[in-house]
Chains A and B, each alone.
Chain A
Amino acid sequence: MTEDLPEHPDFLWRNPEPKRHYDVVIVGGGGHGLATAYYLARNHGITNVAVLERGWLAGGNMARNTTIIRSNYLWEASAGIYEHALKLWEGLAEDLDYPILFSQRGVLNLAHSQQDVREGARRVHANRLSGVDAHWLDPGQVKEVCPIVNISPDVRYPVLGATYQPRAGIAKHDYVAWGFARAADALGVDLIQHCEVTGIDVHDGRVTGLRTTRGPIGAGKVALSAAGHSSVLARMVGLDLPVQSHPLQALVSELLEPVHPTVVMSNAVHVYVSQAHKGELVMGAGIDAYNSYSQRGALRVIERQMSAALELFPVFARAHVLRTWGGIVDVTPDASAIVGLTPIDGLYVNCGWGTGGFKATPGVGWCYAHTVAHDEPHPLNAPFRLDRFSTGALIDEHGAAAVAH
């Protein structure tokens, strides 16, 4: 299973100077911003577009996530957009002509209590009716899918079963981001790096442009896609987003010969882990509890997830952590994203993906581009409107969605 990574192409993107005006400016050059730019150009023919990124392209959460892709969410609205994304993932390497290493090795969500079992069963039933592949496995079947999982009944929280989505898996995050970036660049989109947006100009309730560290840039429409810094940007126009920013950490081991063929997630024994293409174990767990914009967290969180990892996978004991890191995730009260219009004309927002937005990348790009192009949400992101926090039409994925990664 371990393999050398395919080489990146000889050419990725231009490094143009920003123009004075664009039809659409996307703020945030993460996976979502880049995918949105690509689909704006490809699906809607809108190419006078810039993506403004304050650091290096796709260096935020896109470069830091654990790349788990699945669509087996509980609610119909979530399953709808994630399943749309999953279908796009299935054709993405070809579409972008980039080896994004999408590997459909399946994802297991383990259950460790009677309540976990009930929630898992509920989600499997809901997924099937939504058209998402979903199975309930007993501990023996879990062991068949992933032989190194400890299913002994003599552990603190024995594995009582798992939900399983065979079409789920992982991809290589940089390859995905660069695939979208290269394709967008080729269609004429300007990717502007080291260009931080410091202000948003609004006249008569309509957005007109941006102030940036590389000078003012005029814009017909502005699409925010700044993940952990979304609330900072929204504040620039007096908009309070119901988003809290937290560090989320992850880590990798050294390269190891194949031991782990799938992706395992556990909420109760909190850890999720896969073995990436080259052979490193990639692992994460929950957010650091405190709000922060610094991309670092506390070691305690890592120590706890290591304990959890060894509960589930005793053979990992002598693997070594090579590197830990953190990203800043944007968490909403109902653990679902916000994608849609804002009270300001021509200003759109995409945020709130929290710990789980990598898997949505192509799906968000597709729907958000539609929203920007038509000034109206795509049916799949319509439920994810900002005003649901005042109407109460929440999409609460806390309860039963296991971990939201």
Chain B
Amino acid sequence: MSGDGLRHATEGRIDRGTVLRFRFDGTAYSGHPGDTLASALLANGVRRIGTSVRLGRPRGVMSAGSEEPTGVVQLEAPFPDPMRPATMVELHDGLVASSLSGRGRLADRPDPARYDAVHAHCDMLVVGAGPAGLAAASLAVRSGARVILADERPEVGGASPDTEGDDWFDRAGARVLTRTTVFGYYDDNYLVAVERRTDHLGAAAPGNLARERIWRIRAGQVVLATGAHERPIAFAGNDLPGVMLADSARTYLHRYGVLVGRRAVVFTINDSGYRVVADLAAAGVEIAALVDPREATGGTVGGQVGGRYGGHVVVAAHGDDAHGHDVLSTVDIEPVGGGPTVRVDADALLVSGGWSPVLHLYSQSGGRLRYDEVVGAFLPDGCRQAVTVAGAARGLTSTTACLVDGVDAARQALTALGITPVDWSPPSVGAGAEGPPPATAAPGGVPDLRFVPAEDYSTHFVDFQRDVTVADVLRATGAGLRSVEHVKRYTTAGTAHDQGKTSGLLTSAVVGQALDAGIAELGHTTFRPPYTPVSFAALAGRDRGQLYDPVRVTAIHDWHVRHGARFEDVGQWRRSWYYPAEGEGLAEAVRRECVAARTGVAFMDASTLGKIEVQGPDAGRFLDRLYTNVMSTLAVGAIRYGVMCGLDGMVFDDGTVARLAPDRFLLTTTTGNAGPVLDWMEEWLQTEWPDLAAWCTSVTDQWATVAVVGPRSRDVLARLAPGLAVDAATFPFMTWRDTVVAGLPARVCRISFSGELAYEVNVAWWHGLALWEAVYEAGAPYGITPYGTETMHVLRAEKGYPIVGQDTDGTVTPQDLGMAWVVSKKKADFIGKRSFARSDTARPDRKHLVGLLPEDPTLLLPEGVHVVDPACLAGGRLPEPPVPMLGHVTSSYRSAALDRTFALALVAGGRDRIGDRLYAPLDDGRLVPVTVAGPVLYDPEGARRDG
């Protein structure tokens, strides 16, 4: 069809003075501001804009809104965007789009756009800015409520093209969000919307503006004025481009000034089709036939009609040789119940199968729906949340009724909010209008016609996007299916882009007819968010790249960067991993750092360790229940190592506890577990032991910690803290002192995670760098060396100190780690105690943490390899799987101090195998012999601790 004359001379709210150029499937076209891609294509006579996914049938535009089931296109420029309903794409200069066959295409380059999210609170959220929504918002604004009004269209006024005038609406009084789809309704009146901010601007969109914005709205009351969708009717060929929902033709005329055809047939089962006839005829469209299965057609027809077919139905739509078989050219009409066929030429077939209230959000909110036989659709039937449904969304049809209903809904909602509604009605309604009217069908009532009876249902489409026909639905019921959810899955009806907005009720009706059951009984498939598709990027918002998860760095981080540290991620923290000198790799750097710590002095930034202060008269009792050992007996000034277990008796975290005062303790946790440990403590305090007077505060970022480690560490500290007695007798192991270090107020703890003489110096976070630099300077004469996590791991492993999460995995008890001493025998109870008595937890052959020494002292066992018993080998080779495994290597390093490689491993009955030879099967097929050793390989007597 050529586009000539399809643009009406005066109708529509488009800017005829401005021409926008766009391309579709390679051809250049033009349109105007105010157009959608769909209206511009129709104005240009483009009817086929896609191909169906399964059957390869032609597809055109069916509607003028977001319920569009067929006119879904691929945008190519300004940026590839898959599967966009052409009815919702606002035209802009330079738009390039192409047709699809049911599948979209993603860009092969990153999306340059930005996305964001905002939180908003309001007394009343009104969804839908049609007559009901505008009236509701208007009353609420006048009554002094904080109102948000959201609508998916570019302007307020609603889906209906009838312009009654809405100048009484005070835009400034409410937060009006246009181009904003409320797509999810969650618990506690939390609703989520997406605002499209730049797409309509095309290339003119400012680069700094977020393309889409998520609104997270918490509303006191919600008024859903979400309107209604017109339904198609199933007949042969009802999917052909040119077949369209009837009222959409009015929208194309009045909003966009587009005639959807030159010669139309209107097929309606209710009176709403009659206003279509009237408006189109007035605009110069030839109405070839008006088909209505009702004998006595209701309304008078305000226009010239070629033929009036009361008591008739459309049985088929066809293309023909002359106009092509991919667009409509003739319509077959028959009497209800059969009879002679009349064939009418037409380029548009406008169908109204009745109206379905849009209750997606209502249903998502937990609202129940009830099938109403009079309206012929589902209506709202009660909800726990603070929500009211108004207007067409609850089955009302006239504009006046919707206005009155909107006011009434707002009145209810305001009253519930404790706000007194003012006395106001939209002027066109007049004062004193008493609402709300009852829901009714479109005037004239609804005959139960959903699909036109036929012998062959193979082109009676129910779901146009998924190519599902009445025949498919009948096949499903024939297979034994009774539930609409099963039929949906069997046929895929309702699973496409439009999620069944136009097909849902039709499918239920076919099932109902096949099973001789009512729609009320069958119900509907579940409505789920989102109401319309939402881009992944909008949902991700700003939480991407470096903002995906905050990077936590210590106060000393910049120094580490300047000194060439390599980093590793530990939870959210970025920690120094090692400090390679010129030409060094990991192995060389770590060796040098280890040697410094064992023979001279080294220092590390330990600020990331979790720190929790526990205060209160019951703090000691609380910690006694939390840790396996006793903490309440700790003297002020002293420090104790402790282990926490889960209820199952498995190690959950470890660290030190310092008693700061009788009612104050400072705990350290592993870096990665600081959050979970605090949660754990709070869970117990709040849910199990609310009687305990103890309070927990995270102080991780309050204290910067520098560990000074090695035989010369005392010398370094002495230089920095002249007021502190640093000798072993006055300042013994596992005690702490408040003092001044490098002129900074500091708490010094004598703790060692390396087996060497060591001090951990804590200062206020903002003094961290100053302290670190002072230590570096004071240590310079001793060759002080910074070290990172890798060296820390080696030093502790040489001493057999486990790392929770590396040498344990949630299946390891303190006893398994060889730390039975940390489990109190005296305490009445603590978390995990009961589990130690369970038969499996008490088994002697559990896996124990042991050392492994490869017989080849240069061979580094890969972490994660397993060990097997020589007894299971046959002829020096592994047996067929499953191969019995004794355990696995948890940590493995090269040790300068031991002058060889070594590993820690969890091995079944490991402590009873010390001295035994086991084998580790490697990736390359080698079976490596290893000898089991105790876990403490360096300085087992602990002689080095005091320097």
Contacts and interface: CB of A to CB of B under 8 A. Distances in A.
Interface string A106-135: 000000111100111111111011110000
Interface string B900-935: 000000000000000000000101000000000000
B197 interface: no
A393 B811 CA distance: 10
Interface residues of A, number: 85
Given A115-B805, A129-B866, A15 B840 contact: no
A396 B105 contact: no
Contact of B480 (A12, A255, A396): A12
Contacts of B186: 296, 298-299
B540 A310 contact: yes
Nearest to B538: A306
A14 B480 contact: yes
13 contacts: A4-B54, A12-B481, A63-B489, A253-B536, A255-B102, A299-B184, A307-B540, A311-B545, A321-B539, A323-B528, A323-B530, A392-B838, A396-B809
B428 to A, nearest CB: 39
B689 to A, nearest CB: 20
Contacts of B103: 2, 254-257, 279
Interface in B494-548: 495-497, 499, 526, 528-530, 533-537, 539-541, 543-546, 548
A161 B672 CA distance: 21
A259 B479 contact: no
Contacts of A299: 184, 186, 190, 192, 529
Contact of A321 (B79, B533, B648): B533
Contacts of A321: 530, 533-536, 539
A10 B106 contact: no
A56 B486 contact: yes
Contact of B549 (A14, A63, A157, A303): A157
A304 interface: yes
Given A8-B490, A11-B478, A303-B543, 8 more contacts: A80-B882, A155-B548, A256-B83, A256-B104, A321-B530, A325-B526, A391-B838, A392-B838
Given A256-B82, A324-B529, A333-B648, A388 B535 contact: no
Interface string A316-335: 11111111110000000110
Main secondary structure of the interface of A (DSSP, over half): mixed
Interface string A1-32: 01011001111111100000000000000000
A390 B186 CA distance: 39
The 7 tightest CB contacts between A and B, nearest first, are A131-B881, A121-B864, A392-B838, A320-B533, A399-B809, A122-B864, A392-B840
Given A121-B863, A314-B110, A309 B536 contact: yes
Contacts of B300: none
Contacts of A269: 548
A122 B186 CA distance: 41
B201 interface: no
B161 interface: no
A76 interface: yes
B946 interface: no
A335 B842 CA distance: 22
A318 B107 contact: yes
A147 B219 CA distance: 44
B881 A318 contact: no
Interface in B784-824: 805-806, 809-811
A317 B536 contact: yes
B483 A319 contact: no
B479 A9 contact: yes
Nearest to A255: B103
A143 to B, nearest CB: 15
Looking at A157, A302, A317, A324, the one whose CB has the most chain B CB atoms below 10 A away is: A317
B863 A307 contact: no
A335 B495 CA distance: 33
A15 B545 contact: no
Contacts of B489: 63, 174
Interface in B55-75: none
B548 A303 contact: no
Report the interface size class on chain B: 35 or more
A129 B543 contact: no
Contacts of A316: 106, 536
Looking at A129, A298, A311, the one whose CB has the most chain B CB atoms below 10 A away is: A129
Given A308-B548, A318-B535, A12 B479 contact: yes
Interface in B841-876: 841-842, 862-866, 868
Contact of A388 (B80, B840, B864): B840
A398 interface: yes
A394 interface: yes
Main secondary structure of the interface of B (DSSP, over half): loop
Interface in A380-395: 388, 390-394
B568 interface: yes
A318 to B, nearest CB: 5
Interface string B375-399: 0000000000000000000000000
Nearest to A129: B883
B458 interface: no
B82 A124 contact: no
B57 to A, nearest CB: 14
A344 interface: no
Contact of A315 (B106, B482, B485, B490): B106
Contacts of A155: 545, 548
Interface string B75-108: 0000111110000000000000000001111111
A400 interface: yes
B832 to A, nearest CB: 11
A254 B483 contact: no
Interface of A: 2, 4-5, 8-15, 56-57, 59, 63, 76, 79-80, 112-115, 118-126, 128-131, 136, 155-157, 174, 193, 253-257, 259, 269, 279, 296, 298-299, 302-304, 306-311, 314-325, 333-334, 388, 390-394, 396, 398-400
Given A125-B866, A254-B83, A392-B838, A56 B483 contact: yes
Contacts of B549: 156-157
B80 A318 contact: yes
B835 A15 contact: no
A255 B52 CA distance: 12
A321 B162 CA distance: 33
Contacts of A193: 482-483
A10 B536 CA distance: 38
Contacts of B528: 323-325
A333 B106 CA distance: 41
A46 B489 CA distance: 30
Contacts of B570: 113
B888 A125 contact: yes
Given A279-B103, A392-B648, A121 B862 contact: yes
B205 interface: no
Given A254-B82, A254-B533, A396-B809, A259 B106 contact: yes
Nearest to A401: B809
A392 B485 contact: no
A5 B551 CA distance: 45
B839 interface: yes
Contacts of B868: 129
Interface in B533-586: 533-537, 539-541, 543-546, 548-549, 551, 568-570
B104 A254 contact: yes
A309 B806 contact: no
Contacts of B370: none
Contacts of B495: 323
A267 to B, nearest CB: 13
Nearest to A253: B536
B638 interface: no
A319 B530 CA distance: 14
A60 B104 CA distance: 30
Given A11-B479, A256-B82, A310-B544, A322 B497 contact: yes
Contacts of B649: 392
Given A2-B103, A126-B885, A298-B186, A306 B539 contact: yes
